[in-house]
Amino acid sequence: MFNARTDTLKLNQTAMFAKIRAGLPVERQHTQNLLECKDDMLYAWDSEECCLLAVNWRLAALEGFEAVKYQNLIPSVPQSFQVERVVASSEGSLIALAGARGVTVLELPRRWGKDGLFMEGKEKITCRAFNLDSLLFSNNPHLELRQLRWHPFSPTDSHLLVLLSDNTIRVYDNSTLRHVWKVGPVPMKSDNNLNSSLPTALLLGEFAVDFDIAPAVAPKDDAVLNSSTTINNNITTKDALNHSRNLSKAFNEIVAGNQKNAQNSERIEWPIIVLRENGNIYVLMAGLDSHKPRLQGPLTITPQSNDNYGLESCAILVIPSLPPTLVIAEANGTLHHALFLEAEEADESFNEVDASLIIHPSEYTIHVLETVLLELGLPKDDPKSKTYNCPIHLKRDYINEMRYFAYHNAGLHAITINFISELQRFVESDVDSDISPLSIASNAEYIVCTKIDASERINAVLGFVLLQMPSGVVLLLGSGEVISLKLIIDPKILVETVKIKEETDKSLPKLEAKSELDRMLEPSFVDHIKSMLKRDVTQPILSVDKTSTPNPQECYELLTQAIEVLRTQYLKRHELVRAEITKRVNTIKLRKEQQEHEIADLEKERENIRETAHRLAERFEEISDQQEIITKKCQHLVRQAHTRLPTNPIADKEFAQEVERINKETKALTNSMQKARDTINKQTYHISKYNQTAKKKTFHLPERQEKNIKEILMQIAAEVDSQIRDVKHINQQLGV
């Protein structure tokens, strides 16, 4: 029933997801997130039994899901709302179960045992849980939850921020309400409007739809911020990045000093970036204990756009790069990638409708670098057909900060922001450099497509989670199917591997020089063909709801779309490749004919060179013989000339006398040396004989005799050494 290629972990065959399929919520027409993963634990919400299922997925991947059983975590309090989100805290000690009409916080039990399961693998565990402000939702029937996030820097891992439809962010510490922060005007009912049930702010698009938390900054009154030179709305991106680089170094010093001072560390603020439906972005400067945070906005967005970069904004994501990168999503599939920069001067903004809402001057600006358009479903043949819109949900990749995911009713996209790495390199460098790499376009890959036709039938994503070590993704679809895919941690690794291989090949000594044909055909023909075959669009995994059968019109649309993709992305490119190959073959044939003529000419030249070399070799032998004859004649002449030189008889006589004298001394020394040798042999004989007799009988000489003998032996040894040296000296003089 299920495709093994789209389920690498074989989760569809597990009892845990069989139970999830049996208890899927009735309302499955919009995107939810009923899955969560923290370290090695995979969580899934069972809507039928209202409990959280947990399994150690790493252990199950090694030993099999049949050997590792899932556990039922049952909340101690019931939920009066439909759970649509499962969000774990930063440390994984708490899990928030959220829906449009309520929030429940579940405390996870302790883990122990050899497999690291909850309470040593107990099948059903009742966990302590508490509902947050249940009376608030019951007393306000129009109040809905928009977004919730755990504060990433909570010292107790228990601070939860909840955005409600009344434009407030409520801060909870466990079950205690700490703060209520206003981020917009209070929605008011309009009696004159036909849609009187809708608040005026909602009709004007002034309600907040999403928020995210940016990296911490120093407080406003800090000296370094007051003295820092920042950017305004009219300067270039390079100046803004230079400011961010200087500001980051200064802030690092502040954080290092604040770590030594507890009072200063409490004054650190986090910019909470709030997105409204009309595209306006506000910043709420707040710490964990801020009673009156500063709301700033709407922020200036550059370059300016007529639609304010989205009239149907639905999600925002902060990527903690330097400076932070913002991702703004619209319901039509448009994504804006922008930089969150500090402004040179505080920008005064217009007053809100609510007089009680104080808007502070904006200290930040937003610079949009690029816009990416996602395909929500397969493209239609008719360009005039109505495009499909749905809310977009964004999720960061915590392993690769350059990548994030967008999941929605039509499937899953993976987007890689390529300028973040170059941006980081530019910020960390001490010298000014070119920022042209910021123009590198991002990559958007359509991984899973769940909408293949123009009908109203939706196979929405009900759960999306990222796995780590090994990296992968898991999707739960409205049809009950689970898709689990392996994921490359960093796509740059593949590129770097190819570059390393190319550098290694270049560094290795080449046996032959590159041919002229290779130089003519550069760049590589294979790379050229690959670039021609590269498709403009990605082909996602198609997953449809198997419980319903598409009608003939929908099947025809899918077939037409497949034929169109085959024609434009495959057949047309293959025809171009065939023409290119034919052209290359003709070029190679012409080059081959030319080389054959050149080879024939080279063969003739080689024969001529061989004949010339043979003649030169014979000539060389003749010259060598003549040179040898001349050398012998010269040696004979030198000997004759030496014998005919005049001699000195007196010198010869003196030399002969000296030789005779040395000969006599040599003979005398030889006799002396022979006598010494005989003496030594005699003494050696006596000593050996004495040693033999000494073994039988021990004699002790008087001290005086022993002393005399030692002196005599030393004297004889000295004489022998002297005679040996004299003999060697004489031999050297005689040249013996």
| Residue 602: its H or E element | helix 572-643
Which one-letter DSSP state was computed for residue 200?
H
Residue in 397, 396, 393 with CA at minimum distance from that of residue 407: 393
Fill in the amino acid letter for 385.
S
Sign, CA dihedral 505-507-508-513, equals positive
Encoded tokens for 498:
């190819």
User: In angstroms, rounded to a whole number, what is the distance separating the alpha carbons of residues 205 and 201?
Assistant: 6
pLDDT at position 324: 92
Distances (CA, A) of 281 to 270, 338, 348: 16, 12, 14
For residue 567, give the amino acid letter. R
Bridging pattern class, strands 461-467 and 117-118? unpaired
- Top pLDDT among 132 and 699 is at 132
Average pLDDT in the 634-652 region?
Answer: 77
Name the burial class of residue 457, with classes exposed (0-12), middle (13-18) and buried (19+) by CB atoms within 10 angstroms of its CB.
Answer: middle
- Residue 680: pLDDT over 50: yes
Strand order in the sheet with 294-296: 208-213, 270-276, 281-286, 294-296, 359-360
Going by pLDDT thresholds of 50, 70 and 90, the confidence category of residue 675 is very high
Q: What are residue 445's phi and psi, to 5 degrees?
A: -115, 125
Helix axes 703-734, 649-696, angle to 10 degrees: 150
Task: Pick the more confident residue, 239 or 650.
Answer: 650
695 or 8, greater pLDDT = 8
Of 326-340, 500-514, 606-620, give the lowest mean pLDDT range.
500-514
Token pair belonging to 568: 């434009």
Segment 151-184, tens digit of pLDDT: 998 999 999 999 999 999 999 998 899 999 999 8
pLDDT at 245 > cutoff 60: no
Cite the DSSP H helix spans in 338-491: 419-428
Q: CA 327, 341, 390 angle in degrees (round to 5)?
A: 15
- pLDDT interval class at 718 (50, 70, 90): very high
272 touches 213 (CB < 8 A): yes
The pLDDT of residue 189: 56
SS3 291: coil
pLDDT digits (tens, 9 = 90+) for 293-324: 999 988 989 888 877 777 889 999 999 988 89
Q: For the segment 366-402, what is each residue's pLDDT rounded down to a tens digit?
A: 999 999 999 888 766 665 667 788 899 999 998 888 9
Alpha helix stretches (DSSP H) within 508-571: 516-520, 525-533, 552-566
In this structure, are residues 465 and 44 in contact, taking their beta carbons and an 8 Å threshold? no
Cα–Cα distance list, 204 to 75, 190, 280, 337, 353 (Å): 39, 12, 12, 25, 11
Strand partners, 118: 111
- Nearest 5°: phi and psi at 557? -60, -40
Beta carbons of 242 and 236 less than 8 angstroms apart = no
Give every CB contact of residue 511 below 8 A, 6+ residues apart in sequence: none
CA distance 442 to 460: 26
Q: How many CB atoms lie within 10 A of CB 143?
A: 18
Under the phi-then-psi rule, with left for phi > 0, alpha for psi from -120 to 50, and beta for the rest, what region is 390?
A: beta
Residue 241, token pair as written in the block: 């990045």
Q: Give CA–CA dist 297/361, Å, rounded.
A: 7
The enclosing H or E element of 482 equals strand 482-486
Tokens 């004495």 sit at which residue? 690
